[in-house]
Amino acid sequence: MRTLLATSIGVTCAAALTLPLAAPASSTTTSAASSPARAPASVTSATAAEPAAELPGSTQSLPLSPLAPATTRATGAPTTGAARGLPRRDARPFSLVGVVWDDADAELHGTVQIRTRATGTTTWSGWQDVETHNTEHAADEGSAEREAGKVRGSTAPLWVGDSDGVEVRVSPEPVDPRNRSATSVALPGGLRLELVDPGEDPRQPIAGRARSAVGTGSVIPALSREDSAREAVVAAGAKPYIGPRPRIITRKGWGANEKLRERRFAYTKTVKAAFVHHSATGNNYRCSQAPAVLRGIYRYHVRSSGWRDFGYNFAVDKCGNIYEGRAGGVTKAVLGAHTLGFNTNSMGVVVLGTFTSKNPPAAAVNSIAKLTAWKLGLFGANPKGKTTLVSGGSNKYKKGKKVKLNVISGHRDGFATECPGKRLYKKLGTARTTSARLQGR
């Protein structure tokens, strides 16, 4: 996802264009002409937090208790070790669930299964598996975000829709019966179930496949390739390879409550790579619900997982709508918490859904191409090229190792994980080709 041409990015958009730098809760935006795209590595710049009306939404955090021994679905054999969970119970309405634990460095070796009851009914879902997620999505070791002491271990969040009843079971990984010396791996301490209500959308919904953002500052409009090229500063005489800027729904557009996040922004030097992810929240959402899914993930990342903000720099829904993710400016090299070990000098793009066994919609793959053609083009990166990043430490590459990666990579390229799901991962070649074509390569 990365070849670097640009040396700096002084943005010189058309005078009528405004780009929000901080995704403010009010309608105030900052002109792109005054938005430098880069900042020194790991430097944080303070921002005056604008007043943000409290938006509805809440998190219920319920400690998990020991359960009676269960059997594994795969073998039917009793599990070893202490399973934990909650029996069926009522709850205040929620739409997104996940499990967290105290130690961010501890991995959950086992299974997490949840079933829920639709609000106002007696109808319970079947058991749904929650991606254990472990440590793969988080701020890098040694970063201010990781060292703040707030970060917890967490599963992926799962979108379950409007619900008011829940049951959960967390089972440790079964011991191989052929290994007599093997012992059960204990579950991490402090396991809690998080039930997230994303709150009502502060904007009125608009019928159709997607929701059109309403109000000043809710949408960054699409821009032609020629006008987009004015945003990228390249070496004298060099041709700016950049795709047309796609339409981007801002944080205000999807209803982000700016009081939730850390007030300061963190930046790296450049954007050399784009890591593609799936949210693993499931595919049972309508595109009109995508803003609510984002608000749920945002609250889960900040309040439940202890991150400073939404983890990814951008999000894409199944209809191909593109959303601003972590605050700090869509043209800037904002430090995210998406690919443990490789957050520096990269961007994270998450597609809402789970694509392990389901193909991603063509509209979503096309939007990945459009977004990367523009954003990587701002920093002179060739979507079909390769680049070198220095690992901050992951389960695949030790800290300090120089790793050669595709400029557009999947999460699994930097970390041993299933993300972004094998079906989405197979589409990255198409995204690279289309992205490069949009840049004029």
Query: 41-87 pLDDT, tens per residue?
Result: 443 433 333 334 455 699 999 999 999 765 445 445 544 458 999 99
Asked if the structure places residue 233 within a domain, the reply is yes
Looking at the structure, do residues 326 and 355 belong to the same domain, yes or no? yes
| 149 in Cβ contact with 308 (< 8 Å) | no
Q: What is the mean pLDDT of the chain?
A: 82
Contacts of 244 (CB under 8 A, 6+ apart): 222, 223, 224, 225, 228, 370, 373, 374, 438
Q: Which of 163, 158, 198 is nearest to 282 (CA)?
A: 158
Looking at the structure of the chain, the number of domains it has is: 2
Domain extent, residue 233, equals 18-53+202-439
pLDDT digits (tens, 9 = 90+) for 12-21: 333 333 343 3
Looking at the structure, do residues 354 and 418 belong to the same domain, yes or no? yes
pLDDT digits (tens, 9 = 90+) for 119-141: 999 999 999 999 987 655 667 67
Looking at the structure, do residues 414 and 303 belong to the same domain, yes or no? yes
Asked if the structure places residue 334 within a domain, the reply is yes
Asked if the structure places residue 1 within a domain, the reply is no
Looking at the structure, do residues 251 and 193 belong to the same domain, yes or no? no
Looking at the structure, do residues 364 and 253 belong to the same domain, yes or no? yes
Asked if the structure places residue 37 within a domain, the reply is yes
Among 146, 162, 197, the domain boundary falls at 197
pLDDT digits (tens, 9 = 90+) for 201-242: 766 444 444 444 445 789 999 999 988 988 775 655 567 899
- In the chain, what percentage of residues exceed pLDDT 70? 76
| 370 in Cβ contact with 396 (< 8 Å) | no
Looking at the structure, do residues 79 and 181 belong to the same domain, yes or no? yes
Looking at the structure, do residues 40 and 85 belong to the same domain, yes or no? no
Give residue 232's pLDDT: 76
Looking at the structure, do residues 207 and 193 belong to the same domain, yes or no? no
Looking at the structure, do residues 287 and 344 belong to the same domain, yes or no? yes
Contacts of 441 (CB under 8 A, 6+ apart): 241, 382, 383, 384
Asked if the structure places residue 94 within a domain, the reply is yes
Among 151, 177, 197, the domain boundary falls at 197
Contacts of 373 (CB under 8 A, 6+ apart): 242, 243, 244, 383, 434, 435, 436, 438, 439
Residue with tokens 């938005």: 35
Looking at the structure, do residues 133 and 178 belong to the same domain, yes or no? yes
Asked if the structure places residue 95 within a domain, the reply is yes
Looking at the structure, do residues 269 and 324 belong to the same domain, yes or no? yes
Among 182, 197, 212, the domain boundary falls at 197
For 418, the 3-state DSSP assignment is coil
Looking at the structure, do residues 275 and 412 belong to the same domain, yes or no? yes
Asked if the structure places residue 5 within a domain, the reply is no
Domain containing residue 420: CATH number: 3.40.80.10
